[in-house]
Amino acid sequence: MSKDILEKGAIVQRDKETFAIAPHIPGGIATPDILRKIADVSEKYGAAAIKVTSAQRLAIVGLKEDDLDNAWDDLGIKPGAAIGLCVRSVKICPGTTFCKRGQQDAVGLGLKLDEKYHGMELPSKLKMGVSGCMNSCAESAIKDIGIMGTPKGFTVMVGGSAGLKPRLADTIAEELDEDEVLSLVDTIISFYKSHAKKQRIGKIIEEIGLDTFKKEVGL
């Protein structure tokens, strides 16, 4: 029976024989060239489908194991961190770059976070969401680190998750500018990296208490 192949960013499919790969598309912002490459590779290697994922990627589904290396070579794009204990994704809404409702620059901030943290190894998986307004299209409240734009700046939330036991994130800071958000996220990640247990941030907060967590990250 086949298993996920972490080093190739390949996720085994239901048939236990074929794999899906997800080229990294920061923020889901793609160029026509990227789309053509994904379409060409999918066609060349007989993929079953191209699936739009919740992490703003295009997964090429149904590849044979023997074709994985050649598919990545043809794509010329780094794998998205879709598996493993690491920063999995930074979900980004259109923000003030594209959306008429945007109140803060979610794209600019989100791409900086993606560049610095995407794929970083951590005690457990970690997801981020950056929303440009309170509609929270990046689902910031159910991310390990969620950031939401308001007319007065960014709100930072920590400890959210979906899954079997969903948890809404706790708000730990409000009315921050971009530099303050970047600094706070860096402190949170540094604290989390020093935590030896295989736990999501929300579980840590539940164990030590929100006030203690805030003190640990300088709030």
Q: Please indicate whether residue 195 or residue 162 has the higher confidence score (pLDDT).
A: 162
HSE of 19, CA atoms in CB hemisphere, 13 A? 23
Q: What band does 181 get if pLDDT is binned at 50, 70 and 90?
A: very high
Separation of alpha carbons 195 and 122, rounded Å = 9
- What pLDDT, in 10s, does the model give residues 30-56? 999 999 999 999 999 999 999 999 999
Contact in structure between 144 and 126 (CB atoms under 8 Å): yes
Q: For the chain, what percent of residues have pLDDT higher than 70?
A: 99
What local confidence, expressed as pLDDT, does residue 195 receive? 83
What local confidence, expressed as pLDDT, does residue 156 receive? 98
Q: For the chain, what percent of residues have pLDDT higher than 90?
A: 94
Alpha-carbon torsion (196, 202, 207, 211), positive or negative: positive
One-letter amino acid of 11: I
pLDDT at 72 over 80: yes
Which pTM was predicted?
A: 0.94
Structure-token pair, residue 219: 């709030």
- What pLDDT, in 10s, does the model give residues 196-208? 688 999 999 999 9
Nearest to 152 by CA among 111, 107, 194, 104: 104
- What pLDDT, in 10s, does the model give residues 142-160? 999 999 999 999 999 999 9
